[in-house]
Amino acid sequence: MLRSKIGGIGYYVPEKVVTNHDLTKVMDTSDEWIQERTGILERRYGKKHEETTTSMAARASTVAIERAGIQKEEVDFIIFATLSPDYYFPGCGVLLQRELGITNTAAGALDIRNQCSGFLYGLTVGDQFIRTGMYKNVLVVGAEMHSMGLDFTTRGRNVTVIFGDGAGAVVLQPTEEENKGILSTCLHSDGTYAEKLAFINPGAHGGYHAKYLEEPADYGYSDAEYGEMFITQRMIDEGMLFPYMDGPFVFKMAVQKFPEVIIEALDKAGLQKEDLDMVIPHQANLRISQFVQKRLGLRDSQIWNNIQKFGNTTAASVPIALCEAYEAGAVKPGDLVCLAAFGSGFTWGAAVLRW
Ligand code: COA
């Protein structure tokens, strides 16, 4: 039976370390508040004008491709998950192809817009391409340059302190080895709460979704018959061009969905939580991961947390954490690993794999 395995993995985080203390210089927050609520001590920010979501993805991908033992031209398909793309369009998939110098136009490139669960969605799509025999080397990437689009005033503090920049990548390859590779994947979505964690402006919505909002906003649209909808002066003047998050609501949903989807993915693979060697959760908030750990009865050594030093890197967080665990020898051949994520949409998912 043809399955996909992670043939190579890599990650990259920018050099610049931004501590909680650094953030107190630009907004009303404290190291104590951030540590207590999120577990975060510091995060990394890319170098302005020199680093982007694509450039960081290229660094991570280069390592993954090398470890997969292939040449970059052998990449058949690129799947790129991000919420902070370099351009509104085209997507980062083709920008990464160019950055890596892949001139093989037979390689397709697909962008995924599923925020925190983007990597899990990408992994699942890539897995299907491998299982059907369509492709042999699928590059799945999650990368984010959050620092370019956060509100660095007190108004944005509940969101801004959480996020960091970075990239992670894997190369999926076929395997016929018994009990190896991706054993199961599960994906879910519920659009009911789309605006609970969202970055809606600039956008082409024109106020259409106001019917779903408790408090519809006035975006300052003009009376002009055409255009002038995507971005308005009011959006700029009143700080509507930043992400919004109903933190307590997201928290409640996350602690429910993470354990549920992990158990579901294990079930699907005919396994139980006692079989797990390692859980790599999306690094949303250390308190969420601790809740998941407790709920599943995992020892400290069975769950990987690195949000303390990288913050929440959204689509990049699962591959960064998995790569770090692999490099630390905490994920070894034969280990049963579960990857899981929950985030904006809401969308969530999990994958169970034998390393
Ligand atoms: N520093 C200091 N105070 C802050 C702050 C900051 N960075 N951010 C918010 N606050 C304040 C709020 O203004 C509020 O003050 P008030 O009571 O005077 O109005 C107070 O802290 C509590 O805010 P609240 O949003 O209810 O805090 P919380 O305890 O829920 O913690 C989160 C906020 C964001 C840490 C938490 O809700 C969370 O982690 N949610 C999940 C987020 C997540 O994982 N997102 C990633 C996507 S999966």
Query: Domain map of the chain by residue range?
Result: 3-175
Kindly state the greatest CA–CA separation across the chain.
Answer: 64
* Residue 223 binned pLDDT confidence (cut-offs 50, 70, 90): confident
- Whether 178 has a pLDDT exceeding 80, the answer reads yes
What residues have CB less than 8 Å from 306, skipping those under 6 apart? 283, 320, 321, 324
- Taking the centre of ligand 1 as the mean of its atom positions, its distance from the CA of residue 99, in whole angstroms, is 37
- The residues pairing with 18 across neighbouring beta strands, listed in sequence order, are 43
Share above pLDDT 90 across residues of the chain, in percent, rounded to a whole number: 94
- Taking the centre of ligand 1 as the mean of its atom positions, its distance from the CA of residue 37, in whole angstroms, is 7
Name the residue at shortest CA distance from atom 10 of ligand 1: 158
Q: Residue 340's pLDDT is what?
A: 98
Closest CA to 82 of 106, 105, 109, 107: 109
- Taking the centre of ligand 1 as the mean of its atom positions, its distance from the CA of residue 137, in whole angstroms, is 41
| 282 has catalytic annotation | yes
| pLDDT tens profile 186-209 | 999 999 999 999 999 999 999 999
- Whether 224 has a pLDDT exceeding 90, the answer reads no
Q: Residue 24's pLDDT is what?
A: 98
- Whether 231 has a pLDDT exceeding 90, the answer reads yes
* Choice from 120, 158, 286 to test ligand 1 binding pocket (greatest atom count within 8 A of CB): 158
- Whether 228 has a pLDDT exceeding 80, the answer reads no
Catalytic residue among 92, 114, 146, 282: 282
- Whether 227 has a pLDDT exceeding 80, the answer reads no
Average pLDDT over residues 239-258: 96
DSSP characters over 266-305: HHHTT--GGG-SEEEE--S-HHHHHHHHHHHT--GGGB--
Q: Residue 184's pLDDT is what?
A: 98
Q: Residue 107's pLDDT is what?
A: 87
- Whether 214 has a pLDDT exceeding 90, the answer reads no
Q: Which tokens belong to 184? A: 């199961």
Q: Residue 292's pLDDT is what?
A: 96
Q: Which tokens belong to 336? A: 């049963």
* Choice from 23, 36, 37, 250 to test ligand 1 binding pocket (greatest atom count within 8 A of CB): 37
Q: Let me know: does 10 contact 34? Beta carbons within 8 Å.
A: no
Q: Which tokens belong to 181? A: 């590779």
| pLDDT tens profile 18-66 | 999 999 999 999 999 999 999 999 999 999 999 999 999 999 999 999 9
Q: Residue 343's pLDDT is what?
A: 96
Q: Let me know: does 42 contact 309? Beta carbons within 8 Å.
A: yes
Q: Is 218 buried (19+), middle (13-18) or exposed (0-12) by CB count in 10 A?
A: exposed
Under CATH, which architecture does the 3-175 domain have?
3-Layer(aba) Sandwich (3.40)
